[in-house]
Amino acid sequence: MAYEVYSAVDLYAGQPGMTLTDLVTLQQKTILKSIVIHNTTNMGAKLKLYIIRPGKTASAETQRIGTSISGEDTVKFSFETVLPKGTKIAASQAVAGALSLDISGVEVIPGV
């Protein structure tokens, strides 16, 4: 009988650049759970975040977050999205060094 093991993971912690950059490529099927965005400056900053499944590219179809975060504010997005192995999460911000991201989820590891 086959089974799956579920393991909570921190997928990314850091600041995306001003040009669109891959933050993480999923090594297992993963349930995306949370994206927390904190603006470390006192002025507003824009973020674009993409979830790019295998065979897709960054486009309007794959953009999941496009928002402005007020100065010194924190925003949390909650998900229950199952993503296949090989999916990339990519992002860019409009103000260098303004936005810090924490992305977490649950890896689904195949058993035997």
SS3 per residue for 15-83: CCCCCCEEEEECCCEEEEEEEEEEECCCCCEEEEEEEECCCCCCCCCCEEEEEEECCCCEEEEEEEEEE
Number of folded domains that form the chain: 1
pLDDT of the residue at 53: 98
Residue 112 has pLDDT above 80, yes or no: no
92-102 per-position pLDDT tens digit: 999 999 999 99
Range of the domain at 106: 4-110
What is the reported pLDDT for 3? 87
pLDDT tens, position by position, 23-57: 999 999 999 999 999 999 999 999 999 999 999 99
- CATH code, 8: 2.60.120.1540
pLDDT reported for residue 1: 59
pTM for the model: 0.93
